[in-house]
């Protein structure tokens, strides 16, 4: 480790595709001095319907790549990978490598709900994972809050294509929101990092009083806490963002630029 204790090493972030850039945006806002290396596993996206063992293997592969780029902490910016792979990753790497994962923000959604009904919009892998069951059991069930979980195929693919505001995407969102709204939900926990980019479309369909929450800011706070505890926050400078993909860098880079609202360069990961 360097003389600065590794403080100037980057934060490593991965997702099945470009959706984790919603988390990257929160990390850059909270930790503007930190370099970030982001890996979009576009060649294997989406993860949502894959078997748990396959998701775990892909998560280990992504983590290994980020470690070759010098990552001092790993952020699993993918709900499906967190649901299937977070515990195996932590067991594999031990306490020496802090790893931050995602769960749908059920707790804040419950706190905001007046109707005592909330929705969770996620992929099948996240809905079937133990992490979601645990947070529902801890934060919703004891308070008598009903949770309406929904997974709709095609939304991740729309995000990967940058097709956020199209008739097809709005039709998928209508299908996703209908059972929640019919049940009286007034808050929605987003269980996929692609979905924060759909906030304007969700608001247009569900109305301004429908609260929409994601985990990005919470993940940024937890990342900051862990780095502070290790004395590894970068003390100065302006953070840089390096982007990699297992897909076509030109195609993926164009979508990344659109989502981030800035010119970026994306490289192939190997």
Amino acid 6: pLDDT = 85
CATH of the domain at 66: 3.40.50.1860
pLDDT at residue 125 greater than cutoff 90: no
The one catalytic residue among 78, 140, 176, 241: 78
Quickly count: other Cβ atoms within 10 Å of residue 98's Cβ. 19
Structural domain of 169: 106-213
Query: For residue 2, is it within any domain?
Result: no
Whether 266 is a known active-site residue: answer no
**The residue count for the chain:** 270
Amino acid 131: pLDDT = 86
The one catalytic residue among 58, 62, 156, 192: 192
Quick one: 220 and 207 in the same domain? no
Query: For residue 126, is it within any domain?
Result: yes
**Minimum mean pLDDT among 54-68, 119-133, 143-157: which range?**
119-133
- Residue 26 CA to residue 214 CA, distance in Å, equals 11
Quick one: 184 and 228 in the same domain? no
* 41-79 residue pLDDT tens: 999 998 888 898 999 999 999 999 999 999 999 999 999
Whether 192 is a known active-site residue: answer yes
- Residue 148 CA to residue 145 CA, distance in Å, equals 10
User: 243 has which bridge partners?
Assistant: 38, 266
Query: For residue 38, is it within any domain?
Result: yes
């Amino acid at each position: 480790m360097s003389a600065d204790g590794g403080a100037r090493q980057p934060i490593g972030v991965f997702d099945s595709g470009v959706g984790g850039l919603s988390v990257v945006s929160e990390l850059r806002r909270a930790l503007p001095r930190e370099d970030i290396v982001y890996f979009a596993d576009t060649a294997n996206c989406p993860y949502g319907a894959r078997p748990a063992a396959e998701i775990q293997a892909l998560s280990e592969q992504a983590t290994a790549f980020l470690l070759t780029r010098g990552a001092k902490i790993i952020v699993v910016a993918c709900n499906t990978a967190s649901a299937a792979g977070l515990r195996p990753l932590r067991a594999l790497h031990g306490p020496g490598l802090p790893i931050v994962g995602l769960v749908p923000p059920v707790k804040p959604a419950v706190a905001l709900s007046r109707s005592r009904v909330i929705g969770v919009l996620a992929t099948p892998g996240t809905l079937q994972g133990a992490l979601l069951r645990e947070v529902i059991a801890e934060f919703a069930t004891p308070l008598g809050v009903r949770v309406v979980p929904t997974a709709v195929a095609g939304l991740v693919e729309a995000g990967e294509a940058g097709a956020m505001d199209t008739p097809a995407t709005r039709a998928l969102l209508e299908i996703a929101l209908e059972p929640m709204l019919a049940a009286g939900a007034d808050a929605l926990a987003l269980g996929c990092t692609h979905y924060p980019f759909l906030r304007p479309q969700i608001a247009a369909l569900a109305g301004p009083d429908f609260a929409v929450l994601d985990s990005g800011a919470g993940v940024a706070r937890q990342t900051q806490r862990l780095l502070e505890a290790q004395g590894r926050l970068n003390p100065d400078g302006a953070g840089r963002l390096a982007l990699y993909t297992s897909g076509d860098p030109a195609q993926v880079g164009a979508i990344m630029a659109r989502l981030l609202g800035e010119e970026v360069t994306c490289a192939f990961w190997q």
